[in-house]
Amino acid sequence: MNKPLLDVKEVPSTFQFITLSLQHLFAMFGATILVPFLVGLDPAIALISSGLGTIAFMIITKWQVPAYLGSSFAFIAPIIAAKAGGGPGAAMIGAFLAGLVYGTVALAIKKVGYQWIMKLLPPIVTGPIIIVIGLSLSGTAIDMAMNDASGEYSLLHFSVALVTLAVTILCSIYAKGLLKMVPILIGIVVGYLFALAVGIVDLTGVKEANWFEMPNFIFPFVHYDVSITYELVLIMVPVALVTLSEHIGHQLVLGKVVGRDYIKEPGLHRSILGDGMATIISALIGGPPKTTYGENIGVLAITKVYSVYVLFGAAIAAIVFGFIGKVTALIGSIPTPVMGGVSILLFGIIASSGLRMLVESKIDFGNNRNLAIASVILVIGIGGAFIKLSEDFQIEGMALAALIGVILNQILPTQKDEEQVEEFESQKANHIA
């Protein structure tokens, strides 16, 4: 490991604190605001909740883990489904339940270790589920890219999406240094400017917005009644199990980057609890579920700045930006095709990361067990299969795929078991002969 410019507990100068904190926030900015934009939540709340969640995470992990928590892409489809069934309040309840799952798992890990969750959710289960998460959103990305405000096909709007997509791809491949870590932000900015040039940006809201504005917080018992249903649990909880596996991967990679073993100290149970608390805080004020970001690890690796104080500064800046009306109105003025163009790449990357997990884990698809598990998860998840248990209750899509994947992984014999079965059958045949 190269010597860091600022190690985890090193305090930056005032100038470094301001500049490095803003730099880190901008690296997280595009992905953090994209999720609420896609699911119909207030981007200002997403910024505020990401800041509050990051601070909560740092406190719980004893200021030892330099991680920024942003909006989770894995929960996009579940939030949309929950909102369709019960409005924004249902989505917030579901997010709160997901946070409780994190807390429960953290407690279990503290008691018995973390190996059990890796056995419950090995790569052969989580890889295909991540692919389902990305591909199930592909239709949303294409609709956003190709259609105008009335839902009709528009070549002009599609051209904006394609320009945004092209710039984002080029930056992700050819940009150097920190710019390589912010292709989403650069793509959105260039796409916005192109959309402005072709006349599909409405700046009326930005002109009318105040510099200071109270965001559209959504509080339980104030803006919605709290009602927990089995359907809501099955929409959100399976996704939490998948993101837990992703969280463990992030902590392992982050530990390698900064030269520490975060699984042991402060402990995986603390980082998972911090992730869950961030999600709970977000749910209580109307924001999307939170997760540690791979972009965060990339910025740390490039800049060699590991200081938790810089991450704390980024969190404070996110909270402040959430209350600046001009900023949130500017975000709200981003045309749909701009976000659609970025989403085409992002959702594809999510799916590809599932493939990458399978490849890096050296999953053998010559083994029919693995082939069966992956195949069933993919077709059930992407095909939209569902089990209708009553008029008001059904298990569908990704939730059903995740549950079936976990069950298949538990009941299908492993390679060793298969060999034992074959040996038994061979011995039985010889005995009969």
Q: What is the DSSP string of 342-381?
A: HHHHHHHHHHHHHHHHHHHTT--TTSHHHHHHHHHHHHHH
Percent of all residues in the chain with a pLDDT value above 90, rounded to a whole number: 42
CA atoms within 13 A on the CB side of 85: 26
- CB-CB contact of 220 with 92 (8 Å): yes
User: Would you state the structure tokens that stand for residue 306, as one six-digit string?
Assistant: 């590991």
Total residue count of the chain as it appears in this document: 433
Helix axes 268-285, 230-258, angle to 10 degrees: 130
pLDDT of residue 327: 86
CA distance 249 to 243: 10
pLDDT of residue 49: 96
Would the CA dihedral through 296, 112, 60, 273 be positive or negative? positive
Residue 221: exposed, middle, or buried by beta-carbon count in 10 A (0-12, 13-18, 19+)?
exposed
Task: Name the one residue in this structure whose structure tokens are 């070549």.
Answer: 155
Residue 305 clears pLDDT 70, i.e. is over it: yes
Residue 3: exposed, middle, or buried by beta-carbon count in 10 A (0-12, 13-18, 19+)?
exposed
CA distance 281 to 318: 15
Pairing verdict, β 386-388 and 290-292: unpaired
pLDDT of residue 421: 45
C-alpha torsion angle, residues 84, 145, 141, 82 (rounded to 10): -10
CA distance 263 to 270: 9
Spans of all domains in the chain: 14-366
pLDDT tens, residue by residue, 371-385: 999 999 999 999 988
Residue 183 — pLDDT band, cuts 50, 70, 90? confident
pLDDT tens, residue by residue, 313-348: 999 999 999 999 998 888 888 898 998 898 898 888
pLDDT of residue 428: 46
Residue 283 — pLDDT band, cuts 50, 70, 90? very high
